[in-house]
Amino acid sequence: MSEYVIETKGLTRYFGKTCVVSELDLKVPKGSIFGFLGRNGAGKSTTIRMLLGMVEPTRGSAHVLGKNSQELSPQDRARIGYLPEGHHVYGWMTVEECGKFQASFYPHWNHTIFDAVLSHFRLDRKNKAGNLSRGQRAGLCLALVLAPEPELLILDDPALGLDPVARRSLIQSMLYVTRKTDRTILFSSHLLSDVERVADEIAVLDRGVLRASCKLDTFRSHVRQFVIKHNGKEPPLPDFPGLLQTFRTDTEISLTFANISHDEEHHIRSLEVHSIEEIQLSLEDAFVTYVGERGEKSFFTKDLEGVK
Amino acid sequence: MKALFWKEFRENLKWAILAMGIIIAAMAYSLRYNPNEFYSFQREVWQGLQSSQFLMVTVFGFPVVGLALGFLQILTELRRDQWAFLVHRPVTRKQVFWGKAIPGGILYLLATGIPLAGTAWWLATPGNMPAPFDIRQLLPGTVDLLTGLCFYFAALLSGIIQGPWYGRRALPLVATCFAATCAKVYSFPMATSGVALVLICILLAAAATHGAAGIFRRTSGIGRAALVLTYLFAINVLLGWFWVGWDIVFPGKPYSYKDYALFKTGEVVVTTREANWYKNVVTLDGREIKPEKSSFDWQDFLNASYLYLKPYTYYSNYRETQRLFNQIYTNSSSPYLWYYVRSVGSFQAFSMIGKSCHGFLGPDGFAPENDPAKAGSFQLLRSSYGTDDIVATEDGVYLPDLNAETIKKIFSLGPDEKMRSATIIYNRSNNDAPKDYAIATSRFIYILPHDGPRIQIPISVDPEKFQGLELYRTSEGYTLIYSTWWGDGKIGPELVKVSPQGAIVSQTSLPQLRQTYERTWRMWVSDALNPLGARLWNQANIWAFHGLGFSDSTPIWTWKAKDRNKALIYWMVATIVGLVCAGAVQVPLRRTEFKGQRLGWTLFVFFFSLGGLLAFWIANDWPRRIACPACGRKRSVERETCEHCGAGWPAPKQDGTEIWEGLTEEATPPAAR
């Protein structure tokens, strides 16, 4: 089998005239925890649904565990765990019934894992699933997804709507179970702190187009910010292709770049200004700048003169 | 699968029980019995499972239950992620479908079948309803049960089909109205086969569409055929609604009908009626008679008594009790209700208070409830159903007196004679006067005056060619008008004047009346739109049912035979329209996605013309077409290369900010690597 558990080629999906995923080429290495990032409406969930054969691609292809995603057999599905957005369970079933119901479909069901995750989330087996809190429901869903011990785990925004404690519990469970074996996890999120904690690699989708696919550190190291301080007389700035954002104040210019080259960095550092300083960006700052509004922004005190 | 069954049962049992409760309550209300209003013509409660109130429950209630259960099963889970949670498990999509459909179907049958069977059991139990019970009374309810199943599967189908609710998804629901219409056809085999056909189509379409995640091109061949047929049924219904709406908004000229009648003076006249009003009255020599008042009414004409010369084969609707038993309206203060019951072969009385059987009245007289054989049995000719004035049987004519519980045979057949029908000769001036009777056998018309000897009139026409006759009593004797009714329309009526003693005075062949049935352009268009396939199907049905010996199809058979020449023109028009449509469909069929399907679609559109063309357009997925970045012409978004210039799709635009692993100096899109 290929070293990649997920491979897409030119994966594209239109809804009406709108292209929501465009020519997506994605490779998810086996054994990795792969963060799938993007803003709301970037096309993450649609991509995941195409990977699982729930939505038919308009063109292009997706292979999951070596199989065409549109032709996944029940046996293939047994190897893929999927936690959909919103943590759906049947509210009228008890926690125990949920487990029994789900277990009846899988040839392999690890009761120990199921019990462990339930205990971790302090779930009472006799409780109705409809009466659980959002965090508990997420825990139940995770238990249902992890117990069949799937080779590939696809989680669509698993932490959506959870408080920090529940989020931490969810991630701990996920790591506990998956780190022991050579499992692959693809999870979509826009909570960068979670991604930072667990992901090996990330892919960033922006308005349906893949903008980045790399290791977490690579992403962080490629998005750089320089703050240029001057005495009120702004130096002439070159027009670099990787410039993401410029932020101007009366005596400062903040420049954020992606993929800045040595020559370009040298050029900036050689500007005749008061000082030039590089700011270390957190992943969240890097991501927000990367997928946020691009172009120039300014904040001058002279603009405030007319404001009372 | 077991787990899916369990889930569906647990989830929907409460709804099925609720539906069952409502159906039971509605059925009980429809069969409520009140002796004080029992004789009211609005009340048909004695018809039990075939009463209009009860059938209202099955006709409307069963489909509502089917729809509600189907939608409850599918719509509550159709939210994107919940559906994904259900579908993404080690089962096929078809298993998911059957996991829903089998428990859902069982729950539907429980919710509707149990009340229906329970009601039948209750009605069959003596002492509950002062009326006979026949197990065949279950047939209409059973056909409605099947119709409701169509609605159930249509709900499952329209839930999964991809498309707008106002369009493609609504059509299976509309198609169910086709089944509901079939259920109303008078012949049970025709009704059942029509409903079964729609049911099979919708079921196959639902199963295949679920298996293909609602995508038409991924649906199996059989599933596609079933879905297209379902759309075709729906289009047919929509077209019917359209024409009904058209006729309401633009009503045509009222239907004008010409007929022979006897004016009150005894003169034979031709009447032209329009919307039940006499438009004009003309004598045989062309003289128009003016009304004495503002217009003519029935009192200006003599009343006719109708006699049948051929065995009376007029249809009987399987939804009505007529073919099983019929209430005899005795209009008295008798504590008993009387019925003629075919299977018993005698009149049967039920007590209105105790609701139990009181006794039987047959050719041999009255017999108590515990000894029905003593009354003997006779089979009434169909023309005598529903009356106790005079009843014709295979061997003679009887006059029963239900109130006195006596019977008298007033006529026995002569040698080589066969009974045809019997009727009262109306006496307009005095309804309470002693009655005279007329009897038709295969050889003679007999008149039995209340105060004189029997009059025998020989049948002076070929009885094989005439369906029956109208008999009038005039001051000069009797006037008979023999007519063909359901015949082939080639023979005009025969006018026979008879003396009071029964001698034929004169016989004249009357010209065949041409009905001025004005065909509007709307009728021409709707006939032309009736496609070849529908015509063939209709013809095959008639042949099949006639060949199988279902006498119910006789009226259609003879009617069609009469219209054969006119129908030939319509067949030709349908062929031409079919050919034009088959030519038109070649334009989209040139696309590569239809490779290997061209012959099938062409034949389909040829046979179903405009409806087929519409079904073809609705069923297929039509990919969005946008301008090709290379040549500017419209191209399908689903194809990798442009069908005009062969160019592929360009990689997404790069702006130098892309980050790929291992590439530091230069951002290179993966597509270019």
Residues of A in contact with B80 (CB under 8 A): 49, 84
Q: Is residue A198 less than 8 Å (CB to CB) from chain B?
A: no
| Residue B290 and residue B213 share a domain | no
Among B570, B593, B619, the domain-final residue is B619
Q: What is the pLDDT of residue B137?
A: 93
The reply to whether B365 falls in a domain is no
| Residue B263 and residue B171 share a domain | no
Q: What is the pLDDT of residue B118?
A: 96
Backbone φ, ψ for residue B556 (5° rounding): -65, -45
Neighbours of B418 (CB within 10 A): 13
CA distances from B102 to A75, B20, B93, B97, B521 (A): 24, 18, 14, 8, 48
Calculate how close chain B gets to A89, using CA atoms only, in Å.
8
Calculate how close chain A gets to B653, using CA atoms only, in Å.
9
Q: What is the pLDDT of residue A164?
A: 80
The reply to whether B372 falls in a domain is no
pLDDT in tens, B563-588: 666 778 888 888 999 999 999 999 99
Residues of B in contact with A52 (CB under 8 A): 84, 88
Q: Is residue B164 less than 8 Å (CB to CB) from chain A?
A: no
Mark yes or no for CB contact B657/A106 under 8 Å: no
B547 or A101, which is more confident: A101
Residues of B in contact with A242 (CB under 8 A): 656-657, 667
Q: What is the pLDDT of residue B662?
A: 59
Rounded distance between C-alpha atoms, residue B541 and residue B534, angstroms: 10
CA distances from B617 to B147, B225, B524, B532 (A): 27, 14, 25, 19
Q: What is the CB-side half-sphere exposure of residue B646 using CA atoms within 13 A?
A: 0
| Residue B173 and residue B75 share a domain | yes
Mark yes or no for CB contact B671/A86 under 8 Å: no
The reply to whether B424 falls in a domain is no
| Residue B166 and residue B266 share a domain | no
CA distances from B184 to B136, B147, B360, B624 (A): 16, 11, 33, 43
Q: What is the DSSP string of B303-353?
A: PPEEEESS-------TTSGGGTEEEE---SS-SEEEEEETTTTEEEEEETT
Q: What is the pLDDT of residue B671?
A: 42
CA distances from B226 to A208, B409, B582, B616, B622 (A): 37, 59, 20, 13, 19
Mark yes or no for CB contact A84/B640 under 8 Å: no
| Residue B132 and residue B160 share a domain | yes
Residues of A in contact with B85 (CB under 8 A): 82, 84, 88-89
Calculate how close chain A gets to B175, using CA atoms only, in Å.
27
A-interface mutation test, from B78, B637, B657, most A Cβ less than 10 A away: B657
Rounded distance between C-alpha atoms, residue B494 and residue B482, angstroms: 5
Mark yes or no for CB contact B670/A210 under 8 Å: yes
Rounded distance between C-alpha atoms, residue B212 and residue B586, angstroms: 27
Mean pLDDT over B319-325 rounds to: 86
B598: amino acid identity, one letter:
R
B-interface mutation test, from A11, A21, A54, A76, most B Cβ less than 10 A away: A54
The reply to whether B627 falls in a domain is no
Is pLDDT at B55 greater than 90 in this prediction? yes
B69 contacts B107 by C-beta, under 8 angstroms: yes
Mark yes or no for CB contact B637/A58 under 8 Å: yes
| Residue B282 and residue B178 share a domain | no
A193 contacts A287 by C-beta, under 8 angstroms: no
**First-to-last CA distance in chain B?**
47
Confidence at B667, pLDDT banded by 50, 70, 90: very low
Residues of A in contact with B667 (CB under 8 A): 242, 258-259
Mark yes or no for CB contact A210/B626 under 8 Å: no
Q: Is residue B640 less than 8 Å (CB to CB) from chain A?
A: yes
Is pLDDT at B557 greater than 60 in this prediction? no
Residues of A in contact with B76 (CB under 8 A): none
Neighbours of A49 (CB within 10 A): 23
The reply to whether B643 falls in a domain is no
Q: Give me the sheet containing B396-401, strands edge to edge.
A: B391-393, B396-401, B406-412
| Residue B183 and residue B96 share a domain | yes
Is pLDDT at B101 greater than 90 in this prediction? yes
Q: Is residue B364 less than 8 Å (CB to CB) from chain A?
A: no
| Residue B292 and residue B157 share a domain | no
pLDDT in tens, B199-216: 999 999 999 999 988 888
Q: What is the pLDDT of residue A296?
A: 66
Mark yes or no for CB contact B88/A218 under 8 Å: no
Look over chain B and give the mean of its residue pLDDT values, rounded to a whole number: 85
Is pLDDT at B149 greater than 70 in this prediction? yes
Mark yes or no for CB contact A105/B91 under 8 Å: yes
The reply to whether B380 falls in a domain is no
Domain hosting residue B178, numbered range: 2-249
Q: Give me the sheet containing B659-660, strands edge to edge.
A: A80-83, A152-156, A184-189, A33-38, A201-206, A209-215, B659-660
Residues of B in contact with A14 (CB under 8 A): 624, 637
pLDDT in tens, B470-519: 999 888 889 999 987 654 556 789 999 999 888 999 999 988 886 666 66
pTM (global) more than 0.90: no
Mean pLDDT per segment of 10 residues, for chain A of length 308 residues? 84 89 89 87 90 91 92 91 86 91 90 87 88 86 89 86 78 71 83 81 89 87 85 76 80 84 81 81 83 67 56
Angular region, A87: left φ>0, alpha ψ -120 to 50, beta rest: left
| Residue B90 and residue B106 share a domain | yes
Q: What is the DSSP string of B440-466?
A: EESSEEEEE-TTS--EEEE--S-TTT-
Is pLDDT at B560 greater than 60 in this prediction? no
Residues of A in contact with B665 (CB under 8 A): 259, 261
The reply to whether B546 falls in a domain is yes
Structure tokens at B35: 């002796």
Is pLDDT at B282 greater than 90 in this prediction? yes
Confidence at B295, pLDDT banded by 50, 70, 90: confident
CA distances from B20 to B124, B149, B215, B457 (A): 21, 15, 35, 61
| Residue B283 and residue B188 share a domain | no
Say what percent of chain B tops pLDDT 90: 38
| Residue B287 and residue B219 share a domain | no
The reply to whether B590 falls in a domain is yes
How many domains does the structure of chain B reveal?
A: 3
Q: What is the pLDDT of residue B103?
A: 96
Is pLDDT at B279 greater than 90 in this prediction? no
Q: Is residue A219 less than 8 Å (CB to CB) from chain B?
A: yes
| Residue B571 and residue B533 share a domain | yes
Among B73-82, B231-240, B407-416, B560-569, the range with the most confident prediction by mean pLDDT is B231-240
Mark yes or no for CB contact A22/B667 under 8 Å: no
Mark yes or no for CB contact A241/B623 under 8 Å: no
Mark yes or no for CB contact B664/A222 under 8 Å: yes
